[in-house]
Amino acid sequence: MAHIRKSRRHRTYPRRPQQQGAVLKATHVMADSMLVDHMCRACLDTHTSPPSSVPSSLITSLPDQEDSFEYALSSNGAWAGYKAHQNPEFFHKLASGQTPQIRKRPWSPAAQAGALWIGCSDSRCPETTILGLQPGDVFVHRNIANIVSATDINTSAVIEYAVAHLKVKHIVLCGHSACGGAAAALSDSRVGGVLDTWLTPLKAVRHAHGEELTSIGDDRERAVRIAELNVEAGVKVLLANFTVQEAIRDRGLEVHGCFLDLASGKVRDLGFGNAKAHVHAGHNSSGSGEIIRGHHATLVFRSGGVSMSPQ
């Protein structure tokens, strides 16, 4: 593990403050740009002015009034300015087209693997964030309760484009805990209008596994279980898709069924599909003095705070 050198220069990057003019400080020692951005968001506000080393293009004027939409636009301006400063070609490459690839280290053409992520629309499940990826790394489709139905032309079109045109090597269908759609499917009351129609496949899962679900006394555990069963049902639909079947036969496309635990932030393999996701060691919850290693960097948790060094 490489240690942080004290001689490295500290840089500050502006983020949305509680009071106008405040900035967030981050140490620029990460191997991956997204980790820098995440560390900036995790730092505490300070009431100092940005140093002269920060380009003026990175500093976004902030509205005097607290407004969520203006906040989002302001945050976007800060993010875009930072990304462009860090890598002037970043947005140019994004605009030139997409070839989703999850880049492994050490880099080699054979190590790249494009992926289609099918997940829930829930705001707590942003795939690029929880996977530690960047824009352009993964092709995404999200809907309420991550339902995959053979009759849904929207989902089917996404699958066909990702598999037949982008040539992704993985399809990941991921459910999650505390899913509102799962809870609604367990209820006998109406949600209303189109939502009841949309949840029909999930309600069918409930009836197909009624005895098992009824035997679970805890409401949260029951909701988790139906969400897992929903992933299993969706994986079966994926494996029955002709485009997917051809890609499995011709080039070894892998289909995974996974589940995100919101309480821990961890994604686990459910064992569905024609392949299993690889779970790497070192993913336990952080504690004092604990080390978590990943492809991008190493996090070291100590009583005095968190430090990060490149892999």
In a domain, 83, yes or no: yes
* Catalytic annotation present for 179: yes
Same domain, 266 and 119: yes
Query: Is 196 tagged catalytic?
Result: no
Look at residue 21 and tell me if it is in a domain.
Answer: yes
Which residues are paired to 259 by β-bridges? 175, 268
- The full DSSP string for 236-297 is HHHHH-HHHHHHHHHH--EEEEEEEETTTTEEEEEEESSS-PPPPS--SPP-TT-EEE-SSE
What pLDDT is stored for residue 232 in this prediction?
98
Q: Which two tokens stand for residue 126?
A: 């942003």
Distance between CA atoms of 200 and 106, rounded to whole angstroms?
A: 45
- Say if residue 88 is in the same domain as residue 104: no
Same domain (yes/no): 190, 117? yes
Query: 206 and 120, same structural domain?
Result: yes
Top pLDDT among 173 and 25 is at 173
Same domain, 58 and 198: no
Domain count, the chain: 2
Residues 151, 248 share a domain: yes
Instruction: Kindly state whether residue 114 falls inside one of the protein's structural domains.
Output: yes
Annotated binding site: 120, 122, 176, 179
The residue segments making up the domain with residue 134 are 99-272
User: What is the overall mean pLDDT for the chain?
Assistant: 74
pLDDT, residue 43, reads 37
Q: What are the binding residues for Zn(2+)? A: 120, 122, 176, 179
Q: Verify that 217 and 76 share a domain, yes or no.
A: no
Residues 110, 195, single domain; the answer is yes
The question of whether 16 is a catalytic residue gets the answer no
How do residues 135-173 score in pLDDT, each as one tens digit? 888 999 999 999 999 999 999 999 999 999 999 999 999
Is the domain of 250 the same as that of 116? yes
Q: What are the Cα distances from residue 257, in Å, to 150, 157, 225, 228?
A: 17, 20, 14, 9
Spatial distance between the Cα atoms of 283 and 306, rounded to a whole number of angstroms:
16
Q: Six-digit token pair at 190?
A: 């109406």
CATH number at residue 252: 3.40.1050.10
Q: State the pTM of this model.
A: 0.65
